[in-house]
């Protein structure tokens, strides 16, 4: 097993990998105690090549690795790539490209929603992965051979998985179906953690737009503090406390002590003053600048019934075309299709519209009917006369 700890060896390894059409990549990291992920290992493999890079080695410069990740002639293959790409963006300010995410590809090839790496390796390579080292503290040194072998397995089996899925996609002319997902994954905006956007991650358990305005300021305050101190958001303040403060909107520090989610004595801390300042900024904001609450009004009875029919149609379309249902649409998409005159969802574009979107709109207009035949859902066109 090759464990790279020196820059010259890393440069040589990356040069060898760059000579191939693809390289499989995985990372091990920790972020339970930090805001930013701490990169602990990088696993790389290509045809006949496999190695582990130790980013914690003293004096190791990862520049050759980031150059390989940016090499447009070599496809970087990941499984569930998002967190790996986030690390690359944080560490190097660039995102690997081009990329191939085997989890997304597996959904296109009919392996189900969000299939795990272990299940995919079992189905395609016929190998069982030993998961006993899954909860390793990857920042500790030295790592045992068993731990290193476990980590390396995340890229060695990935070679066969990639080659199989790539062939399937080529044979079915579905490779372009991945383009939209890969574009999202390689877009820097996907990984930007702007404080002013932090409220969008929350469930918005607030009672009105004024409370939402306050919540937006509180979330931005927490985000800035968590990033600057490199601690998890919950270490600064729990979500429930943010909702409580936003709904009550206290304007004096001592009022914080009356909230059930706030501990005794907190009102005398420096954080309390910052929170009150954030509340006041939220209260002063022009509500015309505050978006409507995302949860909106509950669906009408008609829309609710339509969503249930759309779910049946979605499962039928997914089975018929052998793709994962979630790749075509999720529940929120179905609700938008049922409720909106011109729904702006991915199901209304490209190959998704061809497989599902047009039929969804036709079903909503009463131009399609669903029935069971031999235990399978069948779709029938309804004539204009019958529909009218």
Residue 293 CB-half CA count within 13 A: 16
Q: Cα separation of 295 and 282, whole Å?
A: 20
Judge if 14 and 73 occupy the same domain.
yes
- Which of 140, 174, 191 terminates a domain? The answer is 191
Judge if 42 and 151 occupy the same domain.
yes
Q: Cα separation of 354 and 364, whole Å?
A: 16
pLDDT digits (tens, 9 = 90+) for 218-231: 999 999 999 999 99
Name the band, by pLDDT with cuts 50, 70 and 90, for residue 257.
confident
Dump the DSSP string for 271-310: HHHHHHHHHHHHHHS-GGGSPPPTT-SPPPHHHHHHHHHH
294 within a domain of the structure (yes/no):
no
Average pLDDT over residues 194-203: 93
CATH code where residue 342 lies: 1.10.150
69 within a domain of the structure (yes/no):
yes
Instruction: Name the residue range of residue 256's domain.
Output: 195-289
168 within a domain of the structure (yes/no):
yes
CATH code where residue 52 lies: 3.30.420.10
H/E element, 328: helix 325-328
Judge if 174 and 27 occupy the same domain.
yes
pLDDT digits (tens, 9 = 90+) for 272-309: 999 999 999 999 999 999 988 755 557 889 999 999 99
Judge if 87 and 10 occupy the same domain.
yes
- Which of 169, 191, 213 terminates a domain? The answer is 191
Q: What is the pLDDT of residue 274?
A: 96
pLDDT digits (tens, 9 = 90+) for 29-60: 999 999 999 999 999 999 999 999 999 999 99
296 within a domain of the structure (yes/no):
no
Q: What is the pLDDT of residue 69?
A: 98
CATH code where residue 211 lies: 1.10.150.80
| CA nearest to 77, candidates 46, 56, 107, 35 | 46
Q: What is the pLDDT of residue 298?
A: 75
Q: What is the pLDDT of residue 386?
A: 46
274 within a domain of the structure (yes/no):
yes
Judge if 98 and 123 occupy the same domain.
yes
Average pLDDT over residues 368-382: 86
Q: What is the pLDDT of residue 388?
A: 45
Q: What is the mean pLDDT of the chain?
A: 93
Judge if 33 and 175 occupy the same domain.
yes
Judge if 226 and 251 occupy the same domain.
yes
Q: Cα separation of 180 and 306, whole Å?
A: 27
Question: How many structural domains compose the chain?
Answer: 3
Judge if 36 and 112 occupy the same domain.
yes
Judge if 90 and 145 occupy the same domain.
yes
Judge if 59 and 153 occupy the same domain.
yes
pLDDT digits (tens, 9 = 90+) for 82-135: 999 999 999 999 999 999 999 999 999 999 998 999 999 999 999 999 888 888
Judge if 268 and 308 occupy the same domain.
no
Judge if 117 and 150 occupy the same domain.
yes
- Which of 174, 191, 208 terminates a domain? The answer is 191
Instruction: Lowest mean pLDDT of 149-153, 201-205, 283-287, name the range.
Output: 201-205
Is residue 17 within 8 A of residue 74, CB to CB? The reply is: yes
Q: Is the pLDDT of residue 209 over 60?
A: yes
Q: What is the pLDDT of residue 295?
A: 54
82 within a domain of the structure (yes/no):
yes
Q: Cα separation of 59 and 55, whole Å?
A: 9
58 within a domain of the structure (yes/no):
yes
């Amino acid at each position: 097993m090759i464990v790279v700890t020196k820059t010259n060896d890393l440069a040589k390894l990356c040069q060898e990998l760059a000579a191939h059409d693809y390289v499989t990549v995985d990372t091990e990291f920790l972020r339970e105690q930090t805001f930013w992920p701490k990169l602990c290992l990088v696993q790389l493999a290509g045809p006949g090549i496999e190695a582990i890079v130790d980013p914690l080695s003293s004096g190791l410069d990862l520049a050759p690795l980031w150059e390989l990740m940016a090499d447009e002639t070599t496809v970087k293959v990941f499984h569930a790539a998002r967190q790996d790409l986030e690390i690359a963006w944080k560490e190097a300010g660039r995102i690997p490209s081009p990329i191939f995410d085997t989890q997304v590809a597996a959904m296109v090839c009919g392996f189900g929603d969000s299939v795990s790496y272990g299940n995919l390796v079992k189905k395609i390579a016929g190998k069982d992965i030993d998961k006993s080292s899954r909860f390793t503290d990857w920042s500790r040194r030295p790592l045992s051979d068993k731990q290193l072998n476990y980590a390396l397995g995340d890229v060695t089996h990935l070679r066969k998985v990639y080659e199989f899925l790539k062939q399937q996609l080529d044979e079915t002319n579905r490779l372009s179906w991945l383009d939209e997902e890969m574009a999202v994954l390689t877009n820097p905006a996907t990984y930007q953690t702007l404080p002013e956007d932090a409220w969008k991650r929350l469930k918005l358990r607030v009672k009105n737009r004024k409370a939402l305005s306050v919540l937006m300021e509180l979330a931005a305050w927490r985000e800035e503090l968590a990033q600057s101190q490199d601690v998890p958001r919950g270490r600064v303040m729990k979500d429930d406390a943010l909702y409580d403060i936003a709904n009550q909107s206290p304007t004096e520090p001592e009022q914080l002590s009356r909230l059930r989610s706030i501990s005794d004595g907190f009102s005398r801390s420096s954080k309390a003053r910052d929170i009150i300042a954030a509340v006041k900024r939220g209260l002063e904001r022009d509500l015309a600048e505050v978006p409507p609450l995302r949860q909106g009004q509950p669906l009408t009875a008609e829309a609710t019934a339509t969503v249930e029919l759309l779910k049946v149609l979605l499962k039928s379309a997914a089975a018929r075309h052998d793709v994962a249902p979630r790749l075509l649409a999720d529940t929120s998409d179905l609700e938008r299709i049922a409720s909106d005159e011109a729904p702006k969802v991915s199901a209304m574009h490209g190959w998704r519209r061809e497989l599902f979107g047009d039929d969804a709109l036709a079903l909503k207009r009463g131009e399609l009917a669903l029935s069971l035949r031999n235990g399978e859902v069948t779709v029938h066109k309804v004539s204009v006369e019958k529909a009218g």
